[in-house]
Amino acid sequence: MFRRSLLPLALLLPLAASAAPPAATARYQIEIRNFHFLPARATVPVGAQVTWTNRDEEPHIVVSTGNRFPSSPALDTGDRYRATFTTPGTYTYFCSIHPQMVATIVVR
């Protein structure tokens, strides 16, 4: 049983690797500090993984205007949230509990 279950997995691995090579994933960091997303406008390549980190004592939430990428849960101090952008476009997002906090990610 062990060998039989292992075999299909071994066959699948190269296919998955060729579809999304891990080494090519661009990673970007956005800080949430003093009630601002920094940088307020980030330009990233298609496929980029963006990580938000909350540096405030207040919780914040990352919410896409028009729900174009999944919203984060409440981010307490030090919490992180990641989203991957696979489609080119301009993504506006804000904090739904401090809506004066608005920022943009441009995917090219």
Partner 1 sequence: MNDRNDDDQVPQRRRFLECMAWAGAGAVWAMKGGIAHASALGAGNAASDATFRFVQISDSHVGFHLAPNPDPVATLRETIARINAQPQRPDFIVHTGDLTHLSKPEQFDTVKQVLSEAKVDRVFFIPGEHDVIGDNGKAFFDRFGSGAGGGWYSFDHRGVHFIALVNVLNLQAGGLGFLGTEQLAWLRQDVAGLSGSTPIVVFAHMPLWSLYPQWGWGTQDAAQALQPLKRFGSVTVLNGHIHQIQQSVEGRVMFYTARSTAYPQPAPGQGSAPGPLKDLPASQLRAHIGLREVRHVRGSQAIAVTDSALA
Chain contacts with partner 1 (rule: CB under 8 A) = 34-36, 56-59, 61, 65, 73-74, 76-77, 92-94, 96-100, 102
CA distance 63 to 10: 39
CB of 63 to partner 1, least distance (A): 8
In the complex, the smallest distance separating the C-beta of residue 76 from partner 1, rounded to whole angstroms, is 6
Nearest residue (CB) to partner 1, 7 versus 38: 38
Tokens coding 51: 């990580």
Please report how close the Cβ of residue 95 comes to partner 1 at its closest, in angstroms.
9
Q: Is the dihedral of CA 46, 49, 53, 59 positive or negative?
A: positive
Long-range (24+ apart) CB contacts under 8 A made by 4-12 are none
Angle, CA of 51, 55 and 60, to the nearest 5°: 75
Of the pair 6, 38, the CB lying nearest partner 1 is at 38
Closest CB to partner 1 among residues 21, 73 = 73
